[in-house]
């Protein structure tokens, strides 16, 4: 028999121990992480014959860190072993299950370790927490068995093979195996021993903590099913349980239940007769479905979640505990309360952190067979009984490993694996083993035969609202419809966070909050899976790689970079927006009624843990601030507060004595005391209300005539080219422009559409990317200068007519000259496509500049992603205003700017909107931005490119989901907008 047949057979493994919970214990263990000897064989015909022999000489082999993904070795410079490869749906090999290529990169790993005297070698297990994708193991030359299921724990009994003194472990890891067919998640294909390896004494086999909470009585019930060869007792001192029978059950009055908001854990301990001590962290909670609503502890749950892959830009799917902590803290700090472990069980330590800090978890099986969809799901393993054992194995290993986590409230059968008997069997298995949690699987959305939750991905808000009302479109079978309509609904993926965006998050949240059936959802996804690289040109320049950057034959490009975090875990504007959209306390300021309305959306907590603060600004200048007393508001309740006298006084004073500028009141809710996940003062929610509008500044009286002279036209402080009508100088500043501009460097949501034609198709078809600006006339006259132009693409008879009307006059301040531009745009001919943007572009010399503005900020904002931006005075620099999306694209817009001041080495340009303008400044042109494939391709050209936009087309999330909603579509219609320029110091 072929000794390597395990690679392609469908068996989940041989020689393994039955799966069990991951738990801490004080029985001796030997960590085997560290440097191992390693050799990468090119395939099954290139294996080292006697590599498992204890005395095999491996001294010439490389050293490789365990845990690691071997393709990540050598990065950010050249990968040393193979290379990462990215596909979303397609298998990177011909689909012929269970066969995989014979050219199957295979890592041969060896590691010697010592077993000290006294270590209970005669009863020990060897544990692999994650090996991708199939492996065989030898200890001291004895073959222990083999395994598959990359993101699952595999244990082997080593009681006969392990010996005191020197031991040699040899592991052969195959990149491809039959298991690869079940692991077609949208992510980099990476291989190796990527999670920890250890040898541990065998003590208590397993246990299952059952800790329920009865919200009607406040009682908790505790029972621990222990599997052990010896006697075991349970102690939970806080509950008065001391050295008792774990089986209980113990009914305890007045339990504090576990929830995302108050993750109360009771410390306990299992102690065996042999002296083994196992610490427990017990959370009491009961998950149920009540009248079609997902509840925990009797309260409806509203999931404000994210889909999380495990990712680090240098180590791939091998994460340190620090990275896991960073993820959990960042989630909690951004008001996220739920995580779907897409699409496999995470490192088990991550779930400990979810228990500790409070995140609801949908824990998902390591399963995806999406690559069968392009073939019409023909030969899909999900519906082939030959794969049944593999499915049940993965399911059992998921549930058994993670069953003791209170944070896990739902088991998910996997992702995008079609439908079939094996999924049905998996669900049935879970129901028998653990009836305390619900079952999720999106692929079963039509009949919901295996699941407890109706789940969909990437639907639009209208469909979501219909589902909320229980009126989703019927399917073929009325019985299915009736069954499904009785189920709570989960948006398991939405808000595709690829590139600039996503737009529209607030619309989803509004609908979710309006319908109890909607249990909320999970944004796709948490982090960009960019890979850190260094381009070695003259000097090393860092960038993040995506699909295709390693020469893959088939790949899905930048689709792997679609997270709310950049690869280095810096929050993107999308995450900042999401935090605001899902804030658990909603504050509304009612300037007319001089009231503040506080709506507490928490399910458990009142607002006692929050301090409220106010802050008033007049034109961005602080005019008062302080603490605000807001009566404690119960979960779900709303409190209305009159503005205290000091707030009213500050605002009245600003209004009456102030500058005539806008007066804003900002109210924030911050943590009153430290939580485990953020310190006191951390902001949770905020709102702004405009208390006074700015006094209208009259347009400059067109007091200055335009004077032609020597090929130039002078108009007050401005000089124009007499032929092109371009502004070439303003005061001491050299300028070039402005010209009407409608193009944006396409965002991913323009370029892609998972469900239809991308927006870019129409845009390119009508030539929006190659519009020509033809000046028709330049007419200096008494009231100023009028330039008439036409923007049109070669071959097209449609155009945008534009009339630039320049006037100049004295500014509001003595000696200040104002130059005003009124732009009148008139579509000519047929215009059926939306415009990417509508504004003007100009440039001035400079490589960087200080930028100060009064308007929305501090971050990037677009019309359908602007909830997180607040009105105020903001300061930044051009370089800091660029958002480094992994694939460069339109970014960095500052929305609704009233006025801005841009200071370069040459002087200061002042810009005033009428009343507002959108502002983008970049050290490179739109064309350069559009042409760049990675961040390091962007090189300043010595000019600052300024975009002053009347409006942008929305962002939407069409790269996988709906485009911008109708109100965020920028139609080509007659438009007039104005902006003023002046110079200053």
Residues labelled catalytic: 416, 493
For residue 249, is the peptide bond before it cis, meaning its omega torsion is within 30 degrees of 0?
yes
Q: Does 258 bind ligand GAL (CB under 6 A)?
A: no
Closer CB to ligand GAL, 61 or 559, in the complex: 559
Q: Which is nearer to ligand GAL, 580 or 887 (CB)?
A: 887
CA distance 641 to 344: 47
CB of 20 to ligand GAL, least distance (A): 29
Backbone φ, ψ for residue 463 (5° rounding): -65, -40
First to last CA, the chain: 85
Rounded least distance, CB 738 to ligand GAL, Å? 38
Dump the DSSP string for 467-498.
HHTT-PPP-S-HHHHHHHHTS-EEEEEES---
Distance, in Å, from the CA atom of 428 to the CA atom of 424, rounded to the nearest integer, reads 6
Q: Which residues contact 294 (CB under 8 A, 6 or more apart)?
A: 287, 300, 301, 438, 453, 488, 490, 519
Spatial CA neighbour of 184 closest among 94, 91, 115: 91
Between 448 and 928, CB nearer to ligand GAL: 448
Matching residue, tokens 């010996």: 163
Q: Kindly state whether residue 748 participates in binding ligand GAL, applying the rule CB under 6 A.
A: no
**Contact string 81-110 vs ligand GAL (x = CB under 6 A):** -------x----------------------
User: Does 528 help bind ligand GAL (rule: CB under 6 A)?
Assistant: no
Query: Judged by CB, which is closer to ligand GAL: 752, or 917?
Result: 752
- Of 525 and 980, which CB lies nearer to ligand GAL in the complex structure? 525
Residue 524 lies near ligand GAL (rule: CB under 6 A): yes
The yes or no reply on residue 507 touching ligand GAL (CB under 6 A) is: no
Residue 184 near ligand GAL by CB under 6 A? no
DSSP assignments along 607-650, one per residue: GGGEEEEEEEEETTEEEEEEEE------TT-EEEEEPPHHHHHH
Quick one: tokens of 183? 């692991």
Report in angstroms how near the CB of residue 958 gets to ligand GAL at its nearest: 12
Closest approach of Cβ 490 to ligand GAL, in Å?
13
Structure tokens at 954: 């929305």
The interface mask with ligand GAL, positions 649-688, x = CB under 6 A, is ----------------------------------------
CB of 419 vs ligand GAL, minimal distance in Å: 15
In sequence order, the β-bridge partners of residue 740 are 840
Shortest gap between Cβ of 313 and ligand GAL (angstroms)? Answer: 18
Compute the least distance from the CB of residue 618 to ligand GAL, in Å: 45
Instruction: Show Cβ contacts of residue 590 under 8 Å, excluding neighbours closer than 6 positions.
Output: 596, 597, 689
Of these, 493, 736, 918, 949, which contacts ligand GAL (CB under 6 A)?
Answer: 493
Shortest Å distance, C-beta 957 to ligand GAL: 10
Both tokens of residue 489? 């609904």
366 makes contact with ligand GAL (CB under 6 A): no
Q: Which is nearer to ligand GAL, 186 or 552 (CB)?
A: 186
Q: Are 490 and 527 in contact (CB under 8 A)?
A: no
> By C-alpha distance, which of 524, 529, 571 is closest to 546?
529
By CB under 6 A, tell whether 399 contacts ligand GAL: no
CB of 527 to ligand GAL, least distance (A): 12
Q: How far is the CB of 306 from ligand GAL (least distance, A)?
A: 12
CB 943 within 8 A of CB 845: yes
Q: Which is nearer to ligand GAL, 552 or 562 (CB)?
A: 562
Q: Would you count residue 186 as binding ligand GAL (CB under 6 A)?
A: yes
x-marked contacts with ligand GAL along 940-969 as a string, rule CB under 6 A: --------------------x---------
Kindly identify the residues of this chain, within the stretch 310-349, that bind ligand GAL according to CB under 6 A.
Answer: 343
User: Smallest distance from the beta carbon of 472 to ligand GAL, in angstroms?
Assistant: 19
C-beta of residue 250 within 8 angstroms of C-beta of residue 244? yes
Output 578 or 686, the one with its CB closest to ligand GAL. Answer: 578
Tokens of 192: 């190796």
Count of positions on this chain that bind ligand GAL (CB under 6 A): 12
Closest residue to bound ligand GAL by CB: 186
Note whether 416 binds ligand GAL by CB under 6 A: yes
Distance CA 952, CA 970 (A): 6
- Of 108, 562, 617, 980, the one binding ligand GAL (CB under 6 A) is 562
Closer to ligand GAL by Cβ: residue 394 or 922: 394
Report helix, strand or coil for 404.
coil
* Assigned token pair, 771: 């519009």
Cα 752 to its chain centre, rounded Å, is 18
Q: Does 935 bind ligand GAL (CB under 6 A)?
A: no
**Contact letters (x/-) for ligand GAL, 451-480, by CB under 6 A?**
------x-----------------------
Supply 133's token pair. Answer: 């994708």
Q: At its nearest, how many Å lie between ligand GAL and the CB of residue 416?
A: 5
Residue placing its CB nearer to ligand GAL in the complex, 748 or 918: 748
Q: Is 914 helix (H, G, I), strand (E, B) or coil?
A: strand
Omega of the bond leading into 502 within 30 degrees of 0 (cis): yes
Say whether residue 415 binds ligand GAL (CB under 6 A).
Answer: yes
Q: Which is nearer to ligand GAL, 62 or 463 (CB)?
A: 463
What are the Cα distances from residue 757, in Å, to 303, 445, 717, 747, 949? 31, 25, 48, 15, 27
Number of helical H runs and strand E runs in the chain: 12, 58
Q: How far apart are CA 454 and CA 438, in angstroms?
A: 11
Residue whose CB is less far from ligand GAL, 419 or 871: 419
| 713 binds ligand GAL, rule: CB under 6 A | no
CB nearer to ligand GAL: pick between 722 and 754: 754
Q: CB within 8 A of 82, min separation 6: which ones?
A: 40, 70, 71, 105, 175, 191
Question: Please, what is the minimum distance in Å from the beta carbon of residue 89 to ligand GAL?
Answer: 7
Residues 423 and 441: beta-carbon distance below 8 Å:
yes
**Is the previous residue joined to 165 through a cis bond, with omega within 30 degrees of 0?**
no
Q: What contacts 24+ positions apart, CB below 8 Å, involve 638-645?
A: 638/597, 638/598, 638/599, 638/600, 639/597, 639/598, 639/600, 640/595, 640/596, 640/597, 640/598, 641/595, 641/596, 641/597, 641/598, 642/594, 642/595, 642/596, 643/594, 643/595, 643/596
- 364 near ligand GAL, rule: CB under 6 A: no
Q: Using CA atoms in the order 979, 940, 773, 762, what is the torsion angle rounded to 10 degrees?
A: -100
The binding site for ligand GAL (CB under 6 A) comprises: 88, 186, 343, 415-416, 457, 493, 496, 524, 559, 562, 960
């Amino acid at each position: 028999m072929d000794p390597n047949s395990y690679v392609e057979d469908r068996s989940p493994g041989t020689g393994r121990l039955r799966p069990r919970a991951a738990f801490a214990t004080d029985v001796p263990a030997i960590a085997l992480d560290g440097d191992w000897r390693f050799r990468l064989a090119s395939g099954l015909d290139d294996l080292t014959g006697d590599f498992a022999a204890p005395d095999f000489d491996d001294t010439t082999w490389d050293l490789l860190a365990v845990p690691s993904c071997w393709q990540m070795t050598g990065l950010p410079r050249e990968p040393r072993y193979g290379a990462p490869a990215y596909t979303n749906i397609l298998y990177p090999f011909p689909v012929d299950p269970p066969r995989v290529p014979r050219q199957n990169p295979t890592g041969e790993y060896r590691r010697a370790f010592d077993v000290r005297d006294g270590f209970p070698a005669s009863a020990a297990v060897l544990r692999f927490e994650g090996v991708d994708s199939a492996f065989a193991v030898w200890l001291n030359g004895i073959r222990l068995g083999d395994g598959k299921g990359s993101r699952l724990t595999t244990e082997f009994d080593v009681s006969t093979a392990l010996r005191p003194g020197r031991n040699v472990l040899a592991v052969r890891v195959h990149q491809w195996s039959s298991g690869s067919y079940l692991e077609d998640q949208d992510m980099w294909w990476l291989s190796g021993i990527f999670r920890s390896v250890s040898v541990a004494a065998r003590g208590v086999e397993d246990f299952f903590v059952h800790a329920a909470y009865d919200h009607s009585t406040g009682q908790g019930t505790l029972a621990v099913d222990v599997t052990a060869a010896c006697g075991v007792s349970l102690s939970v001192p806080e509950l008065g349980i001391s050295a008792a029978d774990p089986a209980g059950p113990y009914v305890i009055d007045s339990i504090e239940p576990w929830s995302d908001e108050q993750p109360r854990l009771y410390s306990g301990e299992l102690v065996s007769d042999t002296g083994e001590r196992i610490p427990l962290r017990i959370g009491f909670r009961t998950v149920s479905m009540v009248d079609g609503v997902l509840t925990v502890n009797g309260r409806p749950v509203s999931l404000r979640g994210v889909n999380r892959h495990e990712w680090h830009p240098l180590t791939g799917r091998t994460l340190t505990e620090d990275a896991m902590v960073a993820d959990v803290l960042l989630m909690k700090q951004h008001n996220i309360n739920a995580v779907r472990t897409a699409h496999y069980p995470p490192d088990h330590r991550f779930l400990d952190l979810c228990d500790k800090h409070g995140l609801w978890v949908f824990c998902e099986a390591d399963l995806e067979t999406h690559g069968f969809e392009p073939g019409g799901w023909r030969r899909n393993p999900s519906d082939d009984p030959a794969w049944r054992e593999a499915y049940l194995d993965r399911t059992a290993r998921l549930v058994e490993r993670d069953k003791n986590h209170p944070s896990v409230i739902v088991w998910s059968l996997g992702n995008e694996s079609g439908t079939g008997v094996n999924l049905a069997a998996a669900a049935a298995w879970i129901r028998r083993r653990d009836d305390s949690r619900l079952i999720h699987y999106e692929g079963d959305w039509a009949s919901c035969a295996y699941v407890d939750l109706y789940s969909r991905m990437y639907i639009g808000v209208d469909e979501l609202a219909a589902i909320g009302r229980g009126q989703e479109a019927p399917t073929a079978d009325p019985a299915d419809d009736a069954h499904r309509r009785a189920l709570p609904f989960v948006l398991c993926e939405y808000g595709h966070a690829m590139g600039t965006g996503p737009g529209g998050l607030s619309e989803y949240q509004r609908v979710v909050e309006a319908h109890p059936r909607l249990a909320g959802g999970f944004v796709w996804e948490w982090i960009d899976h960019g890979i850190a690289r260094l381009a070695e040109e003259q000097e090393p320049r860092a960038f993040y790689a995506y699909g295709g950057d390693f020469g893959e034959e088939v790949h899905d490009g930048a689709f792997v970079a679609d997270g709310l975090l950049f690869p280095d875990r810096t929050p993107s504007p999308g995450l900042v927006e999401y935090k605001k959209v899902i804030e658990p306390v909603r504050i509304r300021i009612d300037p007319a009624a001089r009231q503040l309305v506080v709506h507490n959306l928490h399910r458990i907590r009142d607002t006692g843990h929050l301090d409220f603060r106010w802050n008033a600004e007049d034109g961005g200048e602080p005019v008062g601030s302080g603490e605000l007393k807001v009566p404690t508001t119960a979960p779900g309740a709303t409190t209305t507060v009159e503005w205290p006298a000091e707030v009213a006084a500050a605002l009245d004073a600003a209004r009456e004595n102030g500058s005539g500028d806008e007066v804003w009141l900002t109210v924030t809710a911050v943590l009153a005391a430290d939580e485990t996940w953020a310190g006191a003062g951390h902001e949770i929610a905020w709102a702004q209300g405009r208390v006074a509008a700015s006094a209208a500044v009259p347009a400059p009286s067109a007091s200055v005539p335009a004077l032609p002279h020597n090929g130039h036209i002078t108009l007050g402080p401005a000089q124009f080219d007499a032929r092109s009508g371009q502004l070439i100088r303003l005061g001491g500043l050299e300028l070039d422009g402005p010209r009407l501009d409608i193009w944006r460097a396409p965002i991913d949501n323009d370029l892609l559409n998972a469900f239809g034609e991308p927006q870019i198709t129409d845009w390119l078809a009508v030539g929006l990317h190659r519009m020509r600006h033809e000046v028709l006339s330049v007419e200096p006259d008494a009231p100023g200068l009028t330039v008439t132009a036409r923007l049109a693409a070669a071959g097209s008879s449609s155009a945008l007519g534009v009339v630039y009307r320049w006037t100049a006059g004295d500014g509001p301040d003595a000696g200040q000259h104002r130059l005003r531009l009124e732009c009148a745009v008139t579509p000519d001919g047929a215009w059926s496509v939306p415009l990417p943007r509508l504004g003007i572009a100009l440039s001035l010399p400079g490589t960087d500049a200080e930028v100060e503005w009064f308007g929305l900020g501090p971050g990037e904002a677009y019309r359908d992603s602007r909830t997180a931006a607040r009105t105020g005075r903001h300061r930044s620099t051009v370089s800091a205003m660029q958002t480094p999306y992994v694939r460069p694209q339109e970014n960095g817009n500052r929305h609704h700017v009233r006025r801005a001041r841009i200071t370069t080495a040459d002087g200061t340009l002042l810009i005033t909107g009428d009343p507002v303008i959108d502002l983008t400044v970049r050290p490179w042109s739109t064309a350069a931005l559009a042409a760049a494939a990675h961040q390091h391709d962007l090189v300043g050209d010595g000019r600052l490119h300024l975009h002053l936009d009347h409006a942008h087309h929305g962002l939407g999330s069409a790269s996988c989901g709906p485009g911008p909603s109708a109100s965020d579509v920028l139609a080509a219609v007659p438009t007039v907008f104005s902006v003023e320029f002046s110079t200053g110091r």
